Amino acid sequence: MFDRPLEYTLNVSGERWRQGDKVQGALIIKNHSNESFKLSGIKLSLASGEYKDVRKGNAEGLVIEKDILFLQDVIIAASDMLHTPWEFQLKDDCNITDKSGGYFLAYGAIEANKVNASLELCVDVIEPIDQFITIFENFFRFKATAKKYKKGHVEIKFSPPGASKEMSAVEALTCDMRLNDKNLEIKYNFKLKKLIAGGVDVASVKVERQNKFFEQRLSAKEYSSWGGAPNQEIIIVKIKEVLREVVPKIIY
């Protein structure tokens, strides 16, 4: 990115990160002038925004969450280059990248809420949540169809297995998940349907819909084992405890 006489290059180590990861890189500023240049108010910030709102050189669609680097009254000699390393830690329950947007690194001479450039930071869910999703899909044949960040929680939408009689009452499942103080918190929201015979008319059947909610809290010892591998046995037991509550009383 050019902002005469300066050329900015933002280097980031890596392409994708998870919640809780460390992000590292360097901001390189090249002075193309024949004279020395005094930097004033140069920032690198972590910001969140939606794709539809984010525009290069415009901060209207970005919400600055934290300043990572700030350069003030630093002089770069003529035709010289300034190389400044930086790093920061993502929170365990930080924003993630979804279909609508996510995190961006905003950098340049930030004055009067103006951002010279922004770079997308692709962040996925923290590993225990990802491992839980994988077990849910592999052992219970639910399919994760969407992930969305909502105020410290990650909302995972699941579609139920199509040919399962035990799960025939489940139309949809949404799990709100987060890692809070090393505990994995899960809130289940099942959208259920129930067939009700219409009195004397045997052929008449009504469909009644309702939502059922359940909550679980798994400690680190319950959801993980040696070396950070998932504690598959306990996670399966915990999921079964919840699914048992939505199995129809009569299975045809």
Please list, in sequence order, all residues whose beta carbon lies within 8 angstroms of the beta carbon of residue 158, skipping any fewer than 6 positions away: 136, 142, 143, 144, 145, 172, 173, 174, 175
Mean pLDDT of the residues in the chain: 88
pLDDT digits (tens, 9 = 90+) for 65-97: 888 988 888 899 999 999 999 999 999 999 999
Q: What is the pLDDT of residue 177?
A: 97
pLDDT by position in tens, the chain (length 252): 777 888 989 999 999 999 999 999 999 999 999 999 888 888 899 999 888 877 655 566 788 888 898 888 889 999 999 999 999 999 999 999 999 899 999 887 766 455 567 889 999 999 999 999 999 999 999 999 999 999 889 999 999 998 778 888 999 999 999 999 999 999 999 999 887 766 555 566 778 899 999 999 999 999 999 888 999 999 999 999 999 999 887 554
The sign one gets for the Cα dihedral 46, 107, 127, 99 is positive
All domains of the chain in start order, with CATH: 2-124 (2.60.40.640), 127-246 (3.90.1150)
